[in-house]
Structure 1
Amino acid sequence: MSALRARLSVVLLAVCLLFTGQALTTAHRAAAAASADPGYLMVHFTGDSATGQMLYLAHSTDGLHWSDLNGGAPVLNSKIGTKGVRDPALVRSPDGSKYWIIATDLCIRCGSTYQNGSPNFVVWESTDLVTWSKPWLLGAAGLIPGGKNAWAPEAIWNPETRDYVLYWATNATVNGIFKYRIYAARTTDFRTITTPQIWIDPPGTRPVVDTQMTEVPAGDGDYRYVRVSGDGQNTVEGSNSILGAWTQLGNLSSIGLTGNVVEGPVWMKFRDRNEWALYIDYNNPQGVREYRPILTTNPFDVSTYRLQASTGYDMGGTPKRHGATATLTAAEESRVLSRWPNSPARRLQSFNFQDRYIRQTNFDVRIDPNVSPLDDSRFRLRPGLAGTGTVSFESVNFPGYFLRHSAYDFQLVHNDGSSQFAQDATFRQVAGLADPSWSSFQSYNFPDRYIRHYAYELKLDPITPTTARGDATFRVTS
């Protein structure tokens, strides 16, 4: 009996060691996966050009070296308000379930000037950081007596009031002085806000335009929050309450930045060390604007600030102007990099009318020759919204809009994130029905139907006769 118990003990010990080994291996793999920290995201505009006043994305693995996403093309643009956006802020809800992008509604050289802008902001909302709502206008300066422009919005969650503090610059006359001041209001949804109150008002006639603040982890200094303002002196302040009193800590003159050479300050905490970057929209001595990082291990001690050497950072291929940064989670990074790979822009040439290409015009879709502007006929072939091994066609000049069939007709439609939209906008790329060296596109949810043109309009039809096979065959070309 004792011999039997001994054998059983040995067997049980072996089983325990086996499961323990498997658990340790699993834990080791999980730890190894977690050690590859996700990176950082930047949303920005590029300048005053027609395409510059849209929103772009860049990604970094270390917070200092940035790569443009989406092939350096915009990911969001606005067709409301002035039809241009600048100075974006990126806001994440405390539980990570919602995101907002809030931007200045301003399009220089297309109807707006710096003196005559907009009293509104443009806002987008998302639940996943990649599928964004259609934009809406949020009134701001119009709620201020005599308020003119609304510039450079920022927002932060306020745990004291359990809502968001939205703050921005508006020019208005107060006590006989007309200038830009920073106003603040509260909101829960970025659709309505409370009555704005003056938040920052430099003495005399000195204006302030760009202010950005961030929360500092507990124990990392004497204050909970730090902010920097583009007030001509580039003032740095600290506070323990967003809407409470602020203490002046110095300015950026200690590193040679005085006057109006600095715009759009943006704070970013490195995730792997006790160091901060303050990105600034910097007017360098050559008169060229560039985004540049200031580094510090103590954001409350201005004497520790140092401009990063030019060899220590890389802002990527597109110009970076007043933007926002976010430290990504692994899930967020995976979604962002999958959504905006550097896919080239492509055109779809008709097989039987080879001078014609698929294009959108007023969101209707057809084939035409001599398309102008050319981007009306350029698409990015994205991984299919509804399934692997498929494609979806995203417009180049209307990011977030895809070719979609409805009642077997095609339009260019904004992705609403629904499963129905994903299925209607997804296709299988197969050998061309009229020539296997070309391509045809089979519907994902109606597999007996293909994209084809009829009377130059794009349709989704079953394909049988010889002529229809030519109508349903296209060359993917640049």
Structure 2
Amino acid sequence: MLTYFRQRYPTRVEVDKNGKTFEVPLPDPMLDDRLHMALSTDGRHWTALNGNQPVWDQHMRDPFLHRGPDGLWRIVATGSNGKKEDREKYGPTCLYATSTDLIHWKAEAYLHLMKDVRNESGALVRNIWAPEFFYDEATKEYMLFWSSSFEDAGWKKSRLWYCKTKDWKTFTKARVLFNPPYSVIDGTLKKDKNTYYLVHKEEEFGATTGERRGIRLATSNNIEGPYEVFYGDLNKGQIAPTITEGPSVMPDPLKAGWLLLYDYPMADRYGISSSTDLKQWGIETDIVIPPDARHGSVSRITVKEAEALRKAFGK
């Protein structure tokens, strides 16, 4: 099951040689920042549910959806709401929602994950982007992680942060998870054997740095790091083409190995690559992705669950 929102970007941000930011208009923009779903049996050819229309009328971006060990489905997603005075006092939020059947959802809370964090000037962060979670079997805790920045734009000098919770009501103080020598967003985490693989987007671009908006990899033997950037031999270490973002990693349903899904946000299309070792990737060319899909996450579901979704949301 692929869960995503839909968008065609209105502009592409660029930075000139003097460091000035400007925007380049893109054609035919659109935004439907609600939950969408698609199904596949091979991980390469995806069929949208509900005619590629939302399956839940709740505003969100970058939805990350997974089932916990307790059987409950959970979503965390980019999206601020709640009381204005709380946002001014505690900073931005992310959405937290739950479901027992993938059809009926409940918005549980808008989480102020960075409320206890300030910069040297005492200011709050400006954003909580693309939150995800990973269940730590060793500690029986959920680790939430996301990107945040204190700058005037979420992509500037961004770092990946994390906190932990056992009950989704109390959370540890947020700490930096990943602080590479570049701005970073869109982290996703997989464990294979004794290694944690942190797939993420390097968010560096402009006349002085060159175009470096692409997917990278970092590894660690500890879920909380430190993570070491994998630079590889090709494409300066990027494991997907430029310009790409919103990575999601899943076991390959057809053979031993992995699939990496990502979107081309400025080109309005999706991409899929495959790997046997999570480090060396080759682009899959025979793929089908619902139009305008952005920043998806992938979950494995049962045949019974798939049949229930088809019944609820049509072909």
TM-score per shorter chain, which class? 0.7 to 0.9
Q: Which residue of 2 aligns with 1:137?
A: 110
Q: Which residue of 1 aligns with 2:263?
A: 281
Question: How far does residue 336 in structure 1 lie from its aligned partner after superposition?
Answer: 2.3
* Mapping 1:58-457, distance limit 5 Å: 58-78=38-58, 84-95=59-70, 97-105=71-79, 119-145=92-118, 146-172=124-150, 179-203=157-181, 206-216=182-192, 218=193, 223-232=194-203, 234-250=215-231, 253=235, 261-283=243-265, 287-299=266-278, 302=279, 304-309=280-285, 312-316=286-290, 318-342=291-315
The alignment partner of 1:194 has SS state of coil
CA distance 1:260–1:151, shift in 2 (3 Å): farther
The alignment partner of 2:305 has SS state of helix
2:178–2:226 CA contact under 8 A, matched in 1: no
One-letter amino acid of the structure 1 residue matched with residue 301 of structure 2: L
Taking only aligned residues, the RMSD between alpha carbons, in angstroms, comes to 2.5
1:295–1:307 CA contact under 8 A, matched in 2: yes
Within 1, Cα distance between the matches of 2:103 and 2:136?
A: 25
Deviations for 1:99-134, whole angstroms, at most 9, x for unmatched residues? 101110069xxxxxxxxxx71011110122222113
Greater per-residue strand proportion: 2
1:138–1:192 CA contact under 8 A, matched in 2: no
Q: Which residue of 2 aligns with 1:447?
A: none
Within 2, Cα distance between the matches of 1:278 and 1:258?
A: 9
One-letter amino acid of the structure 2 residue matched with residue 336 of structure 1: L
Q: Which has the higher contact order (CA 8 A, sep 6+)?
A: 2
Deviations for 1:389-442, whole angstroms, at most 9, x for unmatched residues? xxxxxxxxxxxxxxxxxxxxxxxxxxxxxxxxxxxxxxxxxxxxxxxxxxxxxx
One-letter amino acid of the structure 2 residue matched with residue 288 of structure 1: A
Q: Which segments of 5 or more consecutive residues in structure 1 lack a partner in the other structure?
A: 1-40, 79-83, 108-117, 343-478
CA distance 1:259–1:207, shift in 2 (3 Å): farther
One-letter amino acid of the structure 1 residue matched with residue 187 of structure 2: T
Whose Rg is larger? 1
Question: How far does residue 98 in structure 1 lie from its aligned partner after superposition?
Answer: 0.5
Question: How far does residue 90 in structure 1 lie from its aligned partner after superposition?
Answer: 0.9
Within 1, Cα distance between the matches of 2:240 and 2:299?
A: 27
One-letter amino acid of the structure 2 residue matched with residue 307 of structure 1: I
Q: Which segments of 5 or more consecutive residues in structure 2 lack a partner in the other structure?
A: 10-28, 82-90, 119-123, 204-211
CA distance 1:305–1:254, shift in 2 (3 Å): farther
Question: How far does residue 143 in structure 1 lie from its aligned partner after superposition?
Answer: 3.1
One-letter amino acid of the structure 2 residue matched with residue 269 of structure 1: P
Identity %: 27
The alignment partner of 1:134 has SS state of strand
CA distance 1:256–1:143, shift in 2 (3 Å): closer
Which segment drifts farther, 118-127 or 56-65? Answer: 118-127
The alignment partner of 1:46 has SS state of strand
Q: Which residue of 1 aligns with 2:33?
A: 53
CA distance 1:256–1:247, shift in 2 (3 Å): closer
Question: How far does residue 71 in structure 1 lie from its aligned partner after superposition?
Answer: 1.9
1:77–1:85 CA contact under 8 A, matched in 2: no
Q: How many residues align?
A: 266
One-letter amino acid of the structure 1 residue matched with residue 49 of structure 2: L
CA distance 1:273–1:260, shift in 2 (3 Å): closer
Question: How far does residue 230 in structure 1 lie from its aligned partner after superposition?
Answer: 0.7
What TM-score do the two structures reach when normalised by structure 1?
0.52
Question: How far does residue 64 in structure 1 lie from its aligned partner after superposition?
Answer: 0.4
CA distance 1:77–1:139, shift in 2 (3 Å): farther
Question: How far does residue 263 in structure 1 lie from its aligned partner after superposition?
Answer: 0.9
Deviations for 1:419-475, whole angstroms, at most 9, x for unmatched residues? xxxxxxxxxxxxxxxxxxxxxxxxxxxxxxxxxxxxxxxxxxxxxxxxxxxxxxxxx
Within 1, Cα distance between the matches of 2:6 and 2:294?
A: 5
CA distance 1:70–1:194, shift in 2 (3 Å): same
What TM-score do the two structures reach when normalised by structure 2?
0.76
